[in-house]
């Protein structure tokens, strides 16, 4: 019987409603994240047993913004006289789309923080980044109600008379303005107090009770499995990655008593893997760390 998919669901909230994501872990290994409620993750269960299930909720309030800027691509080379503009953010945790309507921009509440930008002469089809907008972005992401995936709006209030022209997003998505933000962390993370949970796959056989040795571990191209088998019988050995995907299969004829099996891992990605030995009499699941090879 192959892996069975199990869905884990977690409830997460905080007073301002700004949970940015929930990360899920099985036995300390990440199996995925979800950015919106209801928070769920799937993983492929290889065998019945005890598993430590944990969920970590991240509140992105307080994330550290390292740098932020808007990059424009000039659409012509007009204007040789320096000009200037003052940049604000819209003080709203999720601004509405701009529309062609009177006062649609000026009626939007500005952030307390702003940045002045002096623009020298522009050449056509050149990228021009704004000054650092970190103070504005920090104010935006620290608003109550802000959460991952919300919109940001920036208001450019011209204080000079010399114009500059840049491509709009509607003209060209590739050449339109780009917001570039570098940040550290995702705010405050809280992990559930995990406890061992029994998950059943309705196995056909009981888990193996004897001692099993796998070495070297970590390894690269091969490892050895040593065990005392209670029966003389063929066994199927499957290697799965951390997501439960089958990587490699090998058959081996067990003898009753001591066995030493050489398993070849083949080429593939490194990381946490699971080795599963099974026949009608035994079921063995062990973790093995593979190096990049």
pLDDT tens, the chain, 293 aa long: 556 778 888 777 665 556 777 888 777 677 888 877 788 888 877 666 556 677 777 765 555 677 899 999 998 877 678 889 999 999 999 999 888 888 988 999 999 999 999 988 888 989 999 999 999 998 998 888 887 778 899 999 987 677 888 998 887 778 889 998 876 655 544 545 444 444 444 444 555 667 889 999 888 889 999 999 888 999 999 888 776 678 889 999 999 999 999 999 887 778 888 888 888 777 787 888 888 76
Phi-psi region of 32 (alpha: psi -120 to 50; beta: other; left: phi over 0): left
By the 8 A CB rule, do 258 and 269 touch?
no
Helix (H, G, I), strand (E, B) or coil at 134: helix
> Residue 156 has what pLDDT?
93
CATH of 4-61+188-198, one of 3.20.20.70, 3.40.47.10, 1.10.150.120, 2.60.40.10: 2.60.40.10
Backbone angles phi, psi at 276, to 5 degrees: -125, 115
Write down the CATH number for the domain with range 205-290. 2.60.40.1930
Query: pTM to 2 decimals?
Result: 0.47
CA angle 67, 94, 115 (to 5 degrees): 35
- Counting Cα atoms < 13 Å in the Cβ hemisphere of 269 gives 10
* Residues 77, 224: Cα–Cα separation, whole Å: 68
Report d(CA 194, CA 29) in Å as an integer. 13
Distance between CA 120 and CA 106 in Å, rounded? 25
Model pLDDT, residue 92: 95
**Which of 283, 172, 170 minimizes the C-alpha distance to 233?**
283
169 exposed, middle or buried (CB, 10 Å; 0-12, 13-18, 19+)? exposed
Q: Where in the chain is the domain with CATH 2.60.40.1930?
A: 205-290
| Residue spans in the chain of domains classed CATH 2.60.310 | 64-184
Tokens representing residue 181 in the block: 């933000």
CB distance 275 to 238 below 8 Å: yes
CATH of 64-184 among 3.40.50, 2.60.310, 2.60.40, 3.40.47: 2.60.310
What does the pLDDT read at residue 109? 94
- Grouping H, G, I as helix, E, B as strand and the rest as coil, residue 139 is helix
Distance CA 66, CA 169 (A): 26
The CA radius of gyration of the chain, in Å to the nearest whole number, is: 28
**Cα–Cα distance measured from residue 123 to residue 78, given in angstroms and rounded to the nearest whole number:** 8
Residue intervals in the chain for CATH 2.60.40.10: 4-61+188-198
Please report where in the chains the tokens 């808007």 appear, as a residue.
70
Close Cβ partners of 102 (under 8 Å, ≥ 6 residues apart) = none
């Amino acid at each position: 019987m192959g892996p069975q998919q199990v869905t884990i669901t977690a409830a997460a909230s905080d007073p301002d409603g700004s949970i940015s994501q929930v990360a899920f872990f099985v036995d300390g290994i990440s199996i995925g994240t979800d950015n919106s409620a209801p928070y769920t993750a799937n993983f492929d269960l290889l065998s019945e047993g005890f598993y430590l299930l944990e969920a970590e909720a991240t509140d992105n309030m307080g994330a550290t913004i390292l740098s932020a800027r808007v990059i424009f691509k000039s659409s012509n080379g007009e204007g040789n006289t320096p000009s200037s503009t003052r940049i604000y953010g819209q003080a709203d945790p999720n601004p509405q789309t701009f529309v062609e309507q009177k006062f649609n921009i000026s009626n939007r509440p500005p952030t307390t923080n702003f940045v002045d930008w002096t623009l020298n002469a522009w050449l056509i089809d050149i990228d021009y980044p704004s000054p650092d907008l970190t103070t504005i972005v920090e104010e935006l992401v620290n608003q109550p109600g802000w959460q991952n995936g919300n919109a940001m709006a920036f208001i450019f209030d011209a204080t000079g008379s010399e114009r500059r022209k840049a491509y709009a997003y509607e003209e060209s998505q590739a050449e339109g303005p780009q917001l570039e933000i570098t940040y550290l962390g995702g705010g405050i993370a809280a992990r559930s107090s995990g406890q061992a949970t029994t998950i059943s796959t309705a196995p056909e056989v009981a888990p193996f009770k004897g001692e099993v040795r796998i070495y070297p571990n970590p390894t690269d191209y091969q490892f050895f499995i040593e065990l005392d088998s209670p029966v003389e019988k063929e066994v199927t050995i499957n290697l799965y990655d951390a997501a439960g995907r089958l990587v490699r299969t090998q058959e081996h004829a067990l003898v009753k008593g001591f066995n030493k099996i050489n398993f070849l891992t083949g080429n593939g990605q490194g990381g946490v893997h699971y080795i599963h030995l099974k026949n009608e009499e035994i079921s063995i699941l062990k973790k093995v760390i593979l190096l990049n090879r």
